[in-house]
Structure formats: structure tokens, C-alpha cells
Structure 1
Amino acid sequence: MRSLELMLTIICMLLLVHLFSYKLTKLTGAVVSAASGVALFMQLIIEGYRWQMLFVYCVTVISINVVMLRRRNTPTRDKTKSPLAYICYLLMGGLIVISIGLSVYLPVFNLPTPTGADKVGTQIFYFKDESRDETFTDDPADKRELMVQIWYPAGQTKGSKESPLFPEDKKVFKKFIAAYAEPLNLPPFVLDYWKYMKSHSYEDAEVKASETPYPVIILNHGMGTGRLLHASQAENLASHGYVVVAIDHTYNTAATVFPDGHVTSFNTDEMDMDRNTSSNLLLEVWTQDVKFILKQMKELNSGGIQSRFNGKLDMGNIGVMGHSFGGATAFNAYDSISELKAGVDLDGSLFNLDSKYEITKPFMFIQSEDFIKIQENSSKEISDQDLTKMNLTREELIKLIDNMHKENDIINQVIQHGGTLIDIKGTAHYNFTDFQLYSSLLNLMGMTGEIEGSRGAYIVNQYVLDFFDKHLKGTGGQLLEGPSPDFPEVEFPQIR
């Protein structure tokens, strides 16, 4: 809970206890009710209303009114002890507990503080690839449009605004949260409190002066999510001297906001998720997005596009990373784009499994415990009853196991040529995004694992940073050498 929310809740509970016990004198009642009113006013004005606190607001107002009525007409002790009075007080107490629970499990939070020494600036860019038709619309005149957010080491931040995590425009924000709420089967108002979440970046701050340019990392979100679910990863890398370029892959995000205010959502019309084909449409579209954005970064650096990044980007040291399908994209782009020097796949399955990859550059795979369990279970005999629970046919299971073996062969080949593979105990698929910070209820839904969200984020950030430091800056690399007592959750599995 936020500080004023907590203060309001405590005062409200104290007021309710005094009303229930009827130990509230007129003077004390006036003081406590005044304090409750002031706390309510301050919380609404300073922190802002959110629906999780609705019951606390209501109980506070009701309690103040009860105190005012008692000042005029003091009830008898018998009335105070009537069953109806007890029921009312218990009901109000229960409502406060519900509000506390909702506030704790659906918290307003700020992103984890970056661990680097540099402040972080951020800027959003709109790019249009005139050479490519848009795959996901019916209009033949549409060209591929992308929104990109860049995080970077910032110099002077005085006068720069601290960047909100989500769009500030009310109409745009409503469209945005509606798009995120739909796949979760939630009414949009449930996510309204996201508007209060803050980042640690400063909008359009100047790039920190440096004798050498900054290495660049291109970041790809997972299918159906978006760049904002990787903001803490980007901020952390930027605080350590990287320029992080996060792409929203249009029509494959939950929501992408464009400069004119229109919002695109997830489009499944072209979903081709066959992992064995070498012509997977989505994978090719995303890989071409990476190539196009890489070209735009060169333009920003050379001055072809006027920006604060002119001469600030080390285009000789470029990395790529991604989560889930974004991880598969990172691997595919890494294989096909020679300029990429280091890459990270965060719990993403590979595609083009029948291809003969010849990757000799450093690449790291970070896998969840859930993924490892699937691998382990693939060697066990699975009953028809279990298959029904998994919603798989026997033929689909055989194909899935075959794909796992092919994927392991690719990973093994990469490891034999200097790559890295680590597993993180207690993690599930979305522990590799900021989604793990949003609510511990996600664990009950199976989206995140048992590991505490901020701990999971910290571990991922430390290992990703260490990997890029080693291969893009020539420093660090200690964490990649083997198990560390500081990170007992991290395992270095044998080649499978």
C-alpha cells in the first residue's frame, strides 16, 4: 500500500474500533473524525483515487457521519450493543480487510531501482518502413509502422520530467488498459490503477557525455505483451552504460500507442507457429523489424536522422535479447545479422528447428524451472488421462517431444561454441518480464513461479548485464563461470 493509503486505513480502523467499543468521547470523536477526513482528503489529492481502496473510503465517510450524529444525540449503551450494531461494525471491518487485500495483491508500485551508477533517460520514436507492406491489415497501401522506446545513460536531468510507465492521455490510456485486460478476461477498470506506476527514467534527458560511444542492445517483447513489460530490464542496462532499443512489434502486442493517439491491438490472423518450417511468417516479420530498427539506429548515430544520439552509439558492439517469441526472434536475428555480437533468449522456444545453425558467436539461453520440468517429463510415460488434462493428443505429444530434442540439439551446438545455458529455480514463463512485479496473484494463475518477483527480476538483470558486459565491453563475466553463492537459484545444467 502507498504511504497515505496505509495512514488512512490505520486511522479508519482506529475510528471503527472506538465506535465499536463506544469509548469515544465527543472531543476524541471530533479529533479522530477530523484526522480521518484530512487523511482521506490528502490521499485522494496527493496519491489519487484507486478502486481497491473504495471500501476504506466508504467506511471512513460512514464512520465520520456516525460520530457527527452521536455528537448531536448520544445513543444509549443498550443500543450500542444491539446485534444489528455488531453486525454493521463487523461488516465495515470486513470491508476494510477486503480493501487491504486488494491493495496488497494489486499494488501500485514503482519499477525496481536500477543498479548502475548512471541516471536513465528515455525517448520514444515512431518509424515507418516504406519498403515493407503491413502484413496484418487488409489495406494494400499500409506500410510497416513501429513504435520504439530507447533508454540510455542520462546526463543532466534537471528540468526533465520523470517518465510515467504508461500513456498519460486519458483516452489513450483507457484504450491501452482495455487491450491488456481483454486476454486476462478482466473488465478494463481493474487495471486503471496502472496510471500511477512510475519508472526511473527521465523523458528526453540529454545523453551523458562519454569518451566512447555506448553499446547498443535491441530488446524484443514476447507474443501478445509489449515493450513496457521489459522497462526495468532496459532501465537497468541503461544505468550501466548501454543504449537499449525496445521494439513494439505492431499487431503482435497487447497494445501499441502511436503518435496520433490510435492504438493497435493483438491480431492473430497471420499466426503461423509451426516451429519446424523455415518460412514462419511471424518470425520473419519480427526479424525484419530488428533489421529495420538496426538501420534506423545507424541513421540516428550518423546524423541522417537528427537526434541526441548522433555519434553516441557504438555500432560495432550491438547485442540483441528477447523474451518468449521475442527470444526466438533474437536467436533468429542473431543467426542472420552479422553485426550482432551477443544475444540472449529469455525462456523462448526456438523455431526453424530443422535448420543447421552455425553460430560461433556468444549467445545465452536463460530458462525457467517450468521449462525444465517439461523437459524432464518428456522422457516419462504419459497416460491418456494426463494427455486429456494437457489438452494434447498422443500425436501432438510425440511432435512436441521431437521438437524438444531438436531444440536441445541446437542449444548444445551453441554451448559447444562458447554459448551459455542457465536455469533459474522457482521461475515460470513471465518471471522474465516485469509482469512478475504486478501481482503475486499471477503465481496462482501459473504465470509466474514461486520466486518473489523483485528477486526474480534482480537475478535476470544481473546475469543479462554480466553477459553483455563480457561480450560487448570486455569486462565482467564472473557470473557466467559457474554457480555463485549469491545466486543459489541459478543452475548451470549439463548439455542435454
Structure 2
Amino acid sequence: MRHTIESPDTAPSRFDGARTPGRPTPRGRLAAVSGLLALVASASFGYAPPAAASSASPATPYLPKPTGSQPVGTTSLYLKDTSRPDPWVPTVKARELMVSLWYPAKSPGRHRAQYMTPKESELLLKDGEITGVPLDVLSKTRTNAFTDAKPAGRKHGLPLLVLSPGHSKPRSELTALADDLASRGYVVAAIDHTYENVATTFPDGRVTTCVTCEIKKSPDWWVKLANSRAADVSFVLDQLTGSHPKWKDARLIDPSRIAMAGHSAGGASAIAAMLKDSRIRAGIDMDGTTEVPIPGNGLARPFLFLGKPSTYTPGTGDTAATWERDWKQLKGWKRWLLVTGAEHTSFTDLGVLADQLGIDDGADIPGTRAMEITRRYVAGFFDLHLRKKPQPLLDKASARYPEVKFCTPETKTCS
């Protein structure tokens, strides 16, 4: 099944956080473009790269180095939930998932992890009918984690963080964030939600594509998506912290310190996952419109909204209203932060890679700066709530990060 890409101004919503389902994209830029399309979009999308972009671009795209003190190792897991059929392809009688793990390592290894396979890169490009660029460009992105690095840590000493990507997006789009968190002493698990991504590769060589991209979207459908992702998250937690864990080094995980973050649909799904699973002690929604309402008794665990001003400034429309609705039901520690100049891709690797390739993604903040901010505030949130380390950065505006505005929904102001 093929995922058709429409013009960003007319495409049905991808639950990408840039707009409410069924509404036009406010700026008509990257919101409806999946995966690498944000990096190599042609003039048909309204923002062709500069003529000299290809000659000025680096031969090998790269991710920024982690800021923590420890080297990073990585591995991948194939997981199969036989208790339920696939929610999008009912003829598949078990839910299959691919998960990437990042962790602090004793020392760097010799083999850097591949960002994605050449076939996955090819499918992303062909899906958008993009020509004039190497089909394997993403597979050559230089990463910072090593596939042969031995984990560091003591038994039950490392908190576990779950990451969920945007709809139609691969788990690899959150690699720079995962690298950084692992270098700071976290185990990080990023999930590819099968049939919700343009390309997921399994160990036997199968490559599944985006079935959900072909489905007509409605508010109820987005609720189903969020709840399905919540089930995926709970299953992954079972597989990592249960009596027979699928990762051989799972003994390092502290099952009492688990949290979740996600981008776009993945961020919105953090609320659904927290409502379903009490093991998730804290959550972050990065630029994702929420559809699953918090019940009347509220959610008392810490939560952070982190987004772009164009759609998440309080009082500015239906998309911001979903955060305002949830804000009232968040009964624990909470913050609503907006990053001046950010666009939807700014919270992922794509903002960084777009700059390297000379592509205008619509952001008014450099990709590396947006990633620095994302890493710092996400890590600060988790350090505060899983490690009890004070974080003055989360108390008020910072002179070091003047782009970050603290919003007060009650007065509809940000400063």
C-alpha cells in the first residue's frame, strides 16, 4: 500500500501537531510531509532548496554529538505481542514492533549505528516522488552510538525513557535526543509503530509501509491511534521490565523510574499511555495535538508541553485549545513551554539535517539551536522527576535560552 503525499495546504491531517485534524496547516509548510520530505522537498511543495544547496551540503549528513559524559551504545529489538491482532491490518494476528535501545556504555565501540537502511531511505524518497537526490542519503547519516558497546551501570540503576515518533515518521527521527539522554545515564527505547510509518524493517527482511496514511482521518480515528500506541508502550515496558525481558541487559533498568516523551502523534500519545499505565511516572508532549481527553479525576503525574508558538499559544485556536483542555486536568507538576522560531520539525533530527542540506523548513531558529534547547529541557524534566535533581531552568525564563517562553493558560500569556 502506498502513502500518497498531497500538497501541505490541502492534505488531510497527519496528526502532526501543526494543526487540528481536518483543518488547513497555518503556514502550509512541512506539517503534512513525512520523513525526509522535510529535508529534500521539491518546488512542488512551495519551498525549493537554494540552487547551490547540493554543492554546499556535506557529503555525509551528521547528528550533533551528545552532551552527556558517557559513550552511547545501541541495539534493536524485535517484539511480538501475540495477545492482540494488529490494529491496522486485522489479518495479522499479532502486533509486531521494532524498538531501538540506547544506553550509557563503558567505552565507545568500533561500529557506529546506521541511521536507517538504504531501503528505508529509498521508500521515504519515492513515497514523496522526490528526484534529484541519492535514494540512500539518509542511510549515510553519521550517528554517535555504537552497536558493539557494552552497557555501563549497576543493577536497577538506570531510569527508562520511552520515545514515540510522529505519525508516518520513523523512530530514527528521535535519534539525536535519544543519544543525548543515554549519554546522561538513561536507557532509551524508541518504538516504530508498525503500519504507521512509511518504512519499518524487520529482522527477516520484511519492510512494512504506512497503511494508516491511506485512512481518512477523524477525531475518533486519532483517539484510536493514541490508544493503540498506548498499548504498544505498555507491551514494550512488559518486555523490558518483566520476569523474562527481551534485552539481555535489562537488569540495568530501574522499573520504578519510567517516563515517556514523544513528538507530534507520539507526544499526544504520552497522555493516553500515562492514563493506561501507572508505571509511566512523567510525560512530555513535543508539538502534538491531543485527542484523548483526561478524565474528570485528572492526571496527577508531572507533564510538560513543549511546542512552537504558531499553533500552541494559549487562546489562539482549536489546536491550542486541546492543550488548554488537558492543562485544566493536569493536577501535578506541569509546564507549557514554547520555542520562539520553531517549526514542527525543530524538535526532531530533521531540523538539524535540513540546515545541513540547505533546505528551508520554515523555522526561524537554526536546527542545531532548536535541538540544543530540546535536549536541555527534556533532560532537565526527566532529571527533576526521575532523579530528584533540582532544575531552576524549569522554574522561569532563562537568559541562556531566551527563545523559550513560559505560558500561563489561565491568563493566555507567554513570557
Relative to the length of structure 2, the TM-score reads: 0.80
Do structure 1's residue 480 and structure 2's residue 388 form an aligned pair? no
* Amino acid aligned to 2:279: E
* Amino acid aligned to 1:154: A
Map of 2:351 onto structure 1 = 436
* Amino acid aligned to 1:315: P
C-alpha distance in 1, partners of 2:269/2:132?
30
Do structure 1's residue 116 and structure 2's residue 63 form an aligned pair? no
C-alpha distance in 1, partners of 2:374/2:230?
24
Map of 2:116 onto structure 1 = 166
Q: 1:327-380 CA deviation, whole Å, 9 max, x = no partner? A: 11111111221111111000011113485361111100001122246x6654xx
Do structure 1's residue 201 and structure 2's residue 141 form an aligned pair? no
* Equivalent residues of 1:322, 1:345 under 8 A apart: yes
Q: How many residues align?
A: 362
- Pairs within 5 Å for 1:15-34: none
**1:439 CA displacement:** 1.7
* Equivalent residues of 2:227, 2:273 under 8 A apart: no
* Amino acid aligned to 2:325: D
C-alpha distance in 1, partners of 2:324/2:373?
24
- Pairs within 5 Å for 1:437-476: 437-440=352-355, 447-476=361-390
Q: 1:125-170 CA deviation, whole Å, 9 max, x = no partner? A: 00010011112225x3531100000000011335x41212122xxx
- Pairs within 5 Å for 1:14-413: 101-105=53-57, 108-137=60-89, 140-158=91-109, 160-167=110-117, 173=118, 175-187=119-131, 189-210=133-154, 213-268=157-212, 271=215, 273-275=217-219, 277=220, 280-299=223-242, 302=243, 304-305=244-245, 307-353=247-293, 355-356=295-296, 358-372=298-312, 377-378=316-317, 401=318, 404-413=320-329
* Amino acid aligned to 1:193: V
Do structure 1's residue 426 and structure 2's residue 341 form an aligned pair? yes
* Amino acid aligned to 1:308: K
* Amino acid aligned to 2:261: M
Taking only aligned residues, the RMSD between alpha carbons, in angstroms, comes to: 2.7
Bigger helix fraction? 1
C-alpha distance in 2, partners of 1:281/1:287?
10
- Secondary structure of 1:179 counterpart: helix
* Amino acid aligned to 1:166: M
Q: Which has the higher contact order (CA 8 A, sep 6+)?
A: 2
C-alpha distance in 2, partners of 1:256/1:188?
24
* Equivalent residues of 1:115, 1:239 under 8 A apart: yes
- Secondary structure of 1:463 counterpart: helix
* Equivalent residues of 1:365, 1:422 under 8 A apart: yes
Map of 1:393 onto structure 2 = none
* Amino acid aligned to 2:321: H
- Secondary structure of 2:324 counterpart: helix
> Any unmatched runs of 5+ in structure 2?
1-39, 41-49
**1:257 CA displacement:** 0.8
* Equivalent residues of 2:294, 2:329 under 8 A apart: no
C-alpha distance in 2, partners of 1:197/1:472?
32
- Secondary structure of 1:370 counterpart: helix
Relative to the length of structure 1, the TM-score reads: 0.68
* Amino acid aligned to 1:280: V
**1:477 CA displacement:** 1.6
* Amino acid aligned to 1:423: L
Q: 1:153-202 CA deviation, whole Å, 9 max, x = no partner? A: 011335x41212122xxxxx2x3123211443313854423232111101
- Secondary structure of 1:232 counterpart: helix
**1:255 CA displacement:** 1.1
Judged with a 3 Å threshold, the aligned counterparts in structure 2 of structure 1 residues 263 and 462 are, in CA distance, closer, same or farther, namely same
C-alpha distance in 2, partners of 1:360/1:265?
37
